[in-house]
Structure 1
Amino acid sequence: MKDFGLTYRPTKNPAPAVAQDRRYGITDMDSAARYGYRMPPQQSVPEARLTEDQIKVLYGKTSPTEDSTKSAGLQYQGKEIPDHGCLGSAILSFRKPYEDKAGAEVASRISTESFENSQKTPQVRAVFDKWSSCMKKEGYDYASPMAALATPSFRQGKLSAKEKKTAVADVSCKERTGLLDVWFDAESSIQKEMIKADAQALNKLGELHWKKLSAARKILADA
Structure 2
Amino acid sequence: MKAKLITLAVVVVALGGGIALASASSEPGSGPPAIGVVRAVRSGTDIVLPFDAYRHTPAEINVIERATAVLARDCLNRFGLHWAPPTVDAVDTSRPTAAGRYGIVDAAEVARLGYHAAEPPDRPSQPQPPLDVLMVYTGKGASDVGGQPVPEGGCLGEARRRLEEGLPAAMPGERFAELDRELYLTAQADERVQRAMTGWRECMAESGLRYADVWAANDDVRWSAPEPTPEEIATAKADLACRTRSGLAGTWLAVETAYQQRVISERRKEFDALATALHARLAHARQIVNR
Residue from 180, 204, 209 that aligns with 2:273: 204
**TM-superposition CA deviations, 1:186-214 (whole Å, max 9, x none):** 22122222222222112111211121122
| Aligned pairs, number | 211
Match of 1:25 among 103, 106, 124: 103
1:12 aligns with 2:87: yes
1:108-119 to 2 correspondences below 5 Å: 108-119=177-188
Instruction: Give the letter for the 2:235 counterpart.
Output: T
**More deviation, 172-181/204-213:** 172-181
How far 1:13 moved relative to its partner? 0.7
- What is the distance in 1 between the residues matched to 2:182 and 2:175? 11
Work out which of the residue numbers 232, 247, 263 in structure 2 matches 1:178: 247
Aligned position for 1:69 = none
In structure 1, how many angstroms separate the alpha carbons of the residues matched to 2:135 and 2:177? 35
Between stretches 185-194 and 34-43, larger displacement belongs to 34-43
Amino acid paired to 2:125 = P
What is the distance in 2 between the residues matched to 1:76 and 1:103? 33
CA–CA distance in structure 2, aligned partners of residues 194 and 10 of structure 1: 39
Please state how far the C-alpha of 1:102 moved relative to its aligned partner: 4.3
- What is the aligned partner in structure 2 of residue 52 from structure 1? 131
Q: Helix, strand or coil: the match of 1:174?
A: helix
**CA-CA distance at 1:97 after TM superposition:** 4.6
1:106–1:198 CA contact under 8 A, matched in 2: no
RMSD of equivalent CA atoms: 2.8
Q: Structure 1 residues 91, 33: CA separation in 2 closer, same or farther (over 3 Å shift)?
A: farther
| Structure 1 residues 36 and 204: CA distance shift in structure 2, 3 A | same
Shift of 1:131: 1.5
Q: Which has the higher contact order (CA 8 A, sep 6+)?
A: 2
Percent identity of equivalent pairs: 26
Q: Which of 140, 143, 151 is equivalent to 2:209? A: 140
Change (3 A) 1:110 1:51: closer
CA distance in structure 1 between the partners assigned to 2:133 and 2:251 by the alignment: 53
Between Structure 1 and Structure 2, the one with more helix by share is: 1
Q: Alpha-carbon deviations, 1:37-78, whole Å to 9, x = none? A: 3332233451225333222222221xxxx4xxxxxx523222
Q: Distance in 1 between matches of 2:175 and 2:272?
A: 11
- TM-score after normalising by structure 1: 0.78
Q: What's the secondary structure of 2:215's corresponding residue?
A: helix
SS at match of 2:139: helix
Q: What displacement does 1:96 show? A: 5.7
The TM-score, its normalising length taken from structure 2, stands at 0.62
Q: Indicate if the aligned counterparts of 1:82 and 1:89 stay in contact, CA closer than 8 A.
A: yes
Q: CA–CA distance in 2 between the matches of 1:185 and 1:149?
A: 22
Measured against aligned partners, the alpha-carbon deviations of 1:169-191 in whole angstroms (never above 9, x if no partner) come to: 32232233322211111221222
Q: Which residue of 2 aligns with 1:2?
A: 77
Is 1:92 aligned with 2:161? yes
Point out the more displaced range, 161-170 or 3-12: 161-170
Letter in 1 for 2:107: M
Which of the two has higher C-alpha Rg?
1
Q: Which stretch shifts more, 101-110 or 37-46?
A: 101-110
